[in-house]
């Protein structure tokens, strides 16, 4: 018996572990030309090679040929060119409108994700659970990040799965201090807009080693030295001095210096990896960062998301209660004016004037008038006949 109970216990523990492990959604964003689609292809192939195929979602309606297969493709639901033609839009407007149309079906997307990422049934051990969800976004990064549809899609994903933003950076085009700082400011804005954990992915490491960027983010003096070198090389459009060195631009140098101080706290909350989407180097390091950020999501971000969700529900409840209170006040006012006059054909007969007066009386008034009626009936010389009703007596008293 001991030999059979131990495997059963371990099997149940394994099933509990699978049930408790939530798939991680990786949302890849990046500027046009940063190698985002190639990076998506590389991490997709990496997971397939480990026999852990991901669930892939393509949110770029304008892409003609994707180098990977998607489980959910926005192009299957929305015709980008028809949207441009029908609404008389340009390329960016067409992408934005296509995303807005797709966002109306987000509940169906979540239902599909929850079905595919559910733990396998005990009677079907061949079905492997999906541990990773990959989301490819349009190259027009602002169209996705700053649109209402992008917010809906990201918040819906984050409400069901740990969600991580992978911000893809073109390393060769970030080698100067000004372009580096521009990328960091954009990444900072995305982080605080989405309120989700972020990984900075310095792509094209085979062309330019991203170690300089990691050094600039961790060593303030190293960035200052690089900034001074750019000023001396007249990188900011300054005038050339008598010694042949550039005088630099005081405004640009001061701005970049200030930004480097401001972003010091921002750098502390980021994971930075260098990858080559062409050769696949750095992909293992990237997925280690994903695991770390997924735990950070559960620890730091999920409670905040739940608090915001509860706050929205509470505000909705208060709004409903306020509307109900207004409606009830309106009904009370109507009941005293015209609602009481509406009768259905099958309702009982309306009360006679005498009975109507009797029904409208307060209970205290009724008892007092009853006593007066009985006293009046016993008094001598009373003009009210003995068979008169209480209601008729009320009319004789001017009630």
pLDDT in tens, the chain (399 residues): 344 444 444 444 444 444 447 899 999 999 988 999 999 999 999 999 999 999 999 999 998 888 889 999 999 999 999 999 999 999 989 999 999 999 999 999 999 998 888 877 766 666 777 899 999 999 888 888 888 899 999 989 998 899 999 999 999 999 889 899 999 989 999 998 998 999 999 999 999 999 999 999 988 889 889 988 888 887 776 555 444 444 455 677 788 878 888 788 888 888 999 999 999 999 999 999 999 999 999 888 888 777 877 887 888 888 888 888 887 777 765 555 444 444 444 444 554 555 555 545 555 555 665 666 566 656 555 554 544 554 555 555 554
Token code pair at residue 62: 């304008």
Please give the full DSSP string across 273-312, using - where no structure is assigned.
EE--TTT-TTHHHHHHHHHHHHHHIIIIIHHHHHHHHHHH
List the beta strands (DSSP E) in the chain. 24-30, 55-58, 72-73, 132-136, 163-170, 198-203, 271-274
Please give the full DSSP string across 184-198, using - where no structure is assigned.
HHHHHHHHHHHTS-E
pTM, entire model: 0.71
């Amino acid at each position: 018996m001991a030999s059979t109970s131990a495997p059963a216990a371990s099997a149940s523990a394994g099933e509990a572990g699978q049930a408790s492990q939530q798939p991680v959604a990786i949302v890849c964003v990046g500027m046009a030309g940063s190698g985002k689609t190639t990076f998506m292809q590389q991490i997709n192939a990496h997971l397939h090679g480990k026999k852990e195929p991901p669930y892939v979602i393509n949110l770029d309606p304008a892409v003609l040929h994707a180098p990977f297969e998607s489980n959910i493709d926005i192009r299957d639901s929305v015709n980008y060119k028809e949207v441009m033609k029908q609404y008389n839009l340009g390329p960016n407007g067409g992408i934005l409108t296509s995303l807005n149309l797709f966002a109306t079906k987000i509940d169906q997307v979540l239902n599909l994700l929850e079905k595919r990422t559910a733990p396998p049934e005990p009677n079907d051990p061949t079905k492997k659970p999906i541990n990773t969800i990959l989301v490819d976004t349009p190259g027009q990064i602002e169209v996705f990040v700053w649109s209402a549809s992008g917010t809906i899609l990201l918040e819906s994903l984050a409400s069901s799965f740990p969600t991580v933003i992978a911000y893809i950076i073109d390393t060769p085009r970030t080698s100067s201090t000004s372009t580096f700082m521009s990328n960091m400011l954009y990444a900072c804005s995305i982080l605080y807009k989405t309120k989700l954990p972020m990984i900075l992915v310095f792509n094209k490491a085979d062309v330019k080693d991203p170690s300089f960027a990691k050094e600039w983010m961790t060593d303030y003096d190293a960035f200052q030295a690089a900034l001074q070198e750019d000023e001396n090389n007249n990188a900011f459009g300054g005038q050339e001095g008598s010694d042949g060195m550039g005088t630099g631009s005081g405004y640009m140098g001061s701005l970049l210096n200030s930004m480097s101080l401001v972003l010091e706290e921002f750098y502390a909350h980021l994971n930075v990896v260098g990858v080559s989407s062409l050769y696949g180097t750095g992909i293992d390091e990237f997925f280690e960062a994903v695991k770390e950020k997924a735990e950070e999501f559960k620890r730091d971000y999920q409670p905040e998301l739940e608090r915001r969700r509860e706050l929205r529900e509470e505000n909705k409840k208060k709004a409903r209660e306020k509307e109900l209170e207004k409606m009830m006040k309106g009904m009370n006012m109507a009941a005293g004016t015209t609602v009481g006059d509406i009768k259905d054909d099958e309702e009982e007969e309306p009360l006679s004037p005498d009975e109507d007066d009797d029904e409208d009386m307060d209970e205290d008034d009724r008892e007092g008038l009853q006593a007066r009626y009985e006293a009046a009936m016993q008094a001598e010389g009373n003009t009210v006949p003995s068979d008169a009703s209480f209601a008729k007596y009320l009319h004789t008293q001017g009630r």
